Amino acid sequence: MTALVGYQLELLLRSQRWLPPVLGYGLLMVLGISGGDEPLGGLAYAAGLLLPFTAWLVRCAVTVEPAAARACRVSAAGAVRVHRGALLTAVLTAAVLGLAADTAVLVAGGASKEGPVVVFGAGLGATAVAVLLGAAVGALSSRPVLVSGPYGILASLAGSLLLLLVPGAPAHVVVRELVRGARHGGVDIAAGVLLPVAVSAVLAVAAAAVACTVAGRRAE
């Protein structure tokens, strides 16, 4: 699996398909974050923004390879392992992007009502939620689950918005908790961060399992 992920990562980087989502995310971060802001609020913004861009990165990773080359890899390693490698590549890329954004927020941010350990932990948890849920949305709205590009893009946007806006959704819970902590102090790490991370991990694994199962059964 390490070799598959390494190959897929090299393929993604050389294709430059990662540039639009990465540059788009960076631009919106620059526009939305100001120096001296409360770090928790900036971390909430970074995590909420990262979710749809992670789904976009998943679409890039699973469609970057020409059909003929992908067929050769599938015949050698199996469709399930190849698709799993593409999903892991997108997750790793999004995680690096999220960590870079969190670092920028913490460096540029002002003093927080919480200690640095709490702020860092809350930001890391929010980033994990965004990456996991973005990967889940991307896996279910990209090939081979949804072959049609336009429908997949609409499904990706709709899924990301629902996870961010519907009360009780993990992304909504963690972003709201960070915003509340920025305004009033006191972040509930257990219920407001760790629980959403755990739920997001379950959803991401389930979505990846569905996508890989479909990849193993459906010829693209």
Lookup: tokens for 44 = 């909430």
Amino acid letter for position 66: P
| pLDDT, tens digit, 9 for 90 and up, residues 144-189 | 888 766 788 899 999 999 999 999 999 999 999 999 998 888 889 9
* pLDDT tens string 32-85: 888 777 899 999 999 999 999 999 999 999 988 777 777 777 777 778 888 899
pTM of the predicted model as reported, rounded to 2 decimal places: 0.93
DSSP secondary structure, 173-220, as one string = HHHHHHHHHHHH----HIIIIIHHHHHHHHHHHHHHHHHHHHHHH---
Tens of pLDDT along 108-149? 877 777 778 889 999 999 999 999 999 999 999 988 888 766
pLDDT of residue 71: 72
Residue 218 clears pLDDT 60, i.e. is over it: yes
3-state helix, strand, coil in the chain (%, to 5): 80, 0, 20
